[in-house]
Amino acid sequence: MRNKLSAAQRRYNLVKTLASSGTLSMRVCRFCQSAGTPDRCKLGDDSDRCLECVRKAVDCNLAPFSPARWARIQRQRAEKSSQVKDTISKLLRLQKELEVLEKKQTDMVEDEIQNISEMEEADTVHAPAVNFDVSSEQLEYSNDFDWSSLGLPTGFLASSAPFADSSVPVVAISEEVSRN
């Protein structure tokens, strides 16, 4: 029965082999360059990836051209392109919906302004012209009014008026009103 090793164990064994027998690459791969570890960019005779790329489980650009890898990248590009198109379509649809809502708000405000204008025009047509600029000379005081027609108790107006005799107590006024 064959001994089954995990991917991590197999990776460790490959790194150990590359570290002991690998030779420094003439050209440093992108990962080692960006990581600042050009001294660890070692290639083995049997490996397409350098020591650090194997250790970190990343693609190494020192590997020879692979049609399978090219096809995988092409599929990923097509998928991302489709996602971008879908996102743009969704954004355009949302933008149109937003514009419709803004138009509805604008229409509401314009309609209300027109309604208010029409109401104001109707008020000025049906309302009589009122002149509020009246001088005190234009006001006439008439003492011809029959105050008793109001059904007030006798002596009420004389005792409660602001110019009434101040010698009459307020209590007496209220008693007279309550008696009647």
Q: What is the pLDDT of residue 80?
A: 96
Is the whole-model pTM more than 0.75?
no
Q: In angstroms, rounded to a whole number, what is the distance separating the alpha carbons of residues 23 and 45?
A: 9
Q: Across all residues in the chain, what is the average pLDDT?
A: 75
Q: How many CB atoms lie within 10 A of CB 155?
A: 15
State pLDDT tens for residues 9-38. 887 777 777 667 666 667 788 888 888 877
In whole angstroms, what is the distance from residue 166 CA to residue 164 CA? 6
Sequence ranges of the domains in the chain: 7-56, 154-179
Q: Which of 91, 93, 71, 94 is CA-nearest to residue 83?
A: 91
- In this predicted structure, the answer to whether residue 167 has a pLDDT above a threshold of 70 is no
The DSSP letter of residue 36 is T
- Both tokens assigned to 34: 């960006």
Angle at 178 between CA 175 and CA 180, to 5 degrees: 110
| pLDDT, tens digit, 9 for 90 and up, residues 100-159 | 999 999 999 999 999 999 998 888 776 666 666 666 665 565 666 666 666 666 666 555
Decide: helix, strand or coil at residue 43: strand
Q: State how far Cα 51 lies from the chain centre.
A: 50
User: What per-residue confidence (pLDDT) applies to 39?
Assistant: 79
pLDDT value, residue 86:
96
Give 65's pLDDT tier (boundaries 50, 70, 90). low
Beta-strand runs (E) in the chain = 23-24, 42-43
